[in-house]
Structures are given as structure tokens and as C-alpha cells.
Amino acid sequence: MKTANSVAVITGAASGIGEAVAVALAAMGAKVVLADRDEAKLQTVKEKILAAGQQADFMTCDVTDETSVRALMQFAVTSFGSINIVLACAGIIRDAFLITPDKETGKVKKFMTTQQWQQVMDVNLTGVFLTLREAAIQMTDHHWPGVLIPISSINKSGELGQLNYASAKAAIALWPKILAGEFHARGITNIRVAAIAPGYVETPMLLSIQPDILNRIIADIPLGRLVKTEEIVNTVRFIIENEAVHGTTLEVSGGIIGKGLAK
Ligand SMILES: NC(=O)c1ccc[n+]([C@@H]2O[C@H](COP(=O)([O-])OP(=O)(O)OC[C@H]3O[C@@H](n4cnc5c(N)ncnc54)[C@H](O)[C@@H]3O)[C@@H](O)[C@H]2O)c1
């Protein structure tokens, strides 16, 4: 599949990985539909792409809302005539340990709140489900060739303090296999599915982590540095252009492997 002239719908496109992929795909000749909750930043990304003489439009969208995601896919079709590449990148972190006892009393003083749990499930799991489903309906109904690319994370292997996030990302890593099988079982041959599980990528999400924790993270990466957004862009391009990549999750992590016991 060629990137040029394809229509790409990217959630989380106002920042970080989503923004980097949007700008890069536009530069490769794709028509890019930018979606995010942050309208001001979407406008900035759109202007950057248009200023380079490339094609993009945006729609403010909350991926947790079914109506909003359905409207996004309709917007892509109305704006550019099809949907071919779907990058489900919108994501959040709300880190906390399940329980944290007080050092002196031994009694629980903090815990992961239901809101911290639910917000991550809503955006990182339900949001991706809605994005893939609504895109796949349009792509199947119109026989448009394409690929769904949800974003998992290397933290699917069990990062401490991320019971919510790691659970959602572990689920996402499984979906390409399930969906490739379901599409095959239903005779749908025009849609591939491949997820990316990045390691620690240099984006605003990551740079919001406390500096001492970030330094410890970098010390654990065999590559010796954070993954660059260009390296995720290259992986997206590889998935788009290599039609044998289907039903799988590609790790792009700089060599970091699963977490073990608490430090
Ligand atoms: N940065 C990393 O190290 C890293 C590593 C592994 C996986 N990831 C995943 O990659 C994806 C992108 O991460 P990033 O680092 O670029 O983050 P980021 O914070 O820079 O960007 C995430 C974007 O998602 C948007 N968003 C959040 N909730 C939304 C909602 N309900 N509806 C629409 N948009 C919403 C935010 O407004 C933001 O623009 C996420 O799914 C993240 O979990 C990131």
C-alpha cells in the first residue's frame, strides 16, 4: 500500500507521536485528518502541514464518545473521500499504585482512585475500540484498502504504578491478532491491523514524568536514550507499505524489556 494519496485519520494528533506521524504522513503525500480534544493545538498542527503545501484538516473529537468518533470518520470521508490509514494514538496516563501504606503506621494512606482507573480505561481502551470500529465500518462498507494501527506500549508487560495503563495497553497488543482473525473469518480482505508498542518516546506525555524517575527509566534502556518520534514514524510507514504485516504488535523500544520487581 502506498502512503501518497491515502487518507489517514489520526487521533491524539495534537501532540507527541500523533502529531509527528501526522506531519510525516502529510509530507509523504497523504491527506491527513487530525483529531484530538485540544482544538488550539490541532489548529497549529494543521497550519504547519498546510504551510508546507500539504493536505490536512482537523476535527475536535473526544475518543471516549461514540457519537464524536462516528462524526470524525464521516468528516474524513466528506473531506477527503475515503479512510485508509487509522492511527489510534489518543492516550493518557493516571499513574498510582493500587495501595500505598503509610511508612510509619502501616495503614493505607493512598490508592489508585476509581477515577484514575476509569479515565485510562475510557480513553486508552474504549477510545481505541470506538476508533477502530467506526473506521472499520466505513472501510468495509466502501471496500477501501487500509490498515488500522492502534498504539500499545512496552508497559503492557507490567509497569508498576500503571495497573490501569498497563492493562489497557496489554489488551491493545492482543487486538491485531483477534481482529486479523475476525476479518479473515468474515471474508474482509481490505483491512490489515498492526499495533505498535513503543518504549519510552520523547514526547510531552513522557517529559511530564518527574525528572528523577525519567533518569531511572533512561538508565534501564539498552539503547541508552529515549526512542525518537521519527523512529515511530518509520515504523508506521513500514506497516503501511508492507502488506505482509498484519495481526501483529511491533515493539519499538530501544531494547527495554518487561519490568520485574519494585525498585
Ligand atoms: N510517549 C511514550 O513514551 C509512549 C510510550 C508508549 C506508548 N505511548 C502511547 O502513544 C500514544 C501517544 O502518546 P504521546 O506520548 O504522543 O502523548 P501526548 O500526551 O503527547 O499526546 C496524546 C494526545 O491524546 C489526546 N487525547 C487525550 N485524551 C483524548 C480524548 N479523550 N480524545 C481525543 N484526544 C485525546 C491529548 O489531547 C494529546 O494531544 C498514547 O496512546 C500513549 O499511551 C506513548
| Within a domain: 190 | yes
Reported as a single tens digit per residue, the pLDDT across 91-122 is 999 999 999 999 999 999 999 999 999 999 99
The CATH number of residue 39's host domain is 3.40.50.720
* CB of 254 closer than 6 angstroms to any ligand 1 atom: no
* 204 Cα to the center of ligand 1, angstroms: 9
Comparing C-alpha atoms, which of 125, 66, 115, 64 is closest to residue 94?
A: 115
Which residue, 156, 159, 20, 13, is CA-closest to 91? 13
Evaluate: CB of 123 within 6 angstroms of ligand 1: yes
For the chain, the domain total comes to: 1
Residue 22: inside a domain: yes
Domain membership flag for residue 258: no
C-beta of 205 in contact with ligand 1 (< 6 A): yes
Distance CA 181, CA 183 (A): 6
**Whose Cα sits closest to atom 7 in ligand 1?**
153
Residue 76 lies in a domain: yes
Give the ranges where 109-244 is alpha helix by DSSP (H): 114-120, 127-142, 163-185, 204-207, 211-219, 229-241
Residue at 260 is within a domain: no
What is the structure's pLDDT at 206? 82
262 has pLDDT over 50: no
- The percent of residues in the chain predicted with pLDDT above 70, rounded, is 98
Contact 185, 138 (CB under 8 A): no
Examine residue 1 and state whether it is found in any structural domain, yes or no.
Answer: no
Is residue 2, in this structure, part of any structural domain at all? Answer: no
Residue 45 confidence (pLDDT) above 70: yes
Neighbouring-strand partners of residue 197:
251
DSSP codes joined into one string, 216-247: HHHHT-TTSSPBPHHHHHHHHHHHHH-TT--S
**Residue 164: which domain range?**
7-252
Model confidence, pTM: 0.96
Distance 203 CA to ligand 1 centre (A): 9
Tell me the HSE value of 85 on the side-chain side, using a 13 A CA sphere: 29
Is 40 inside any structural domain? Answer: yes
Rg (CA), the chain: 19
Name the residues annotated as catalytic.
Answer: 165
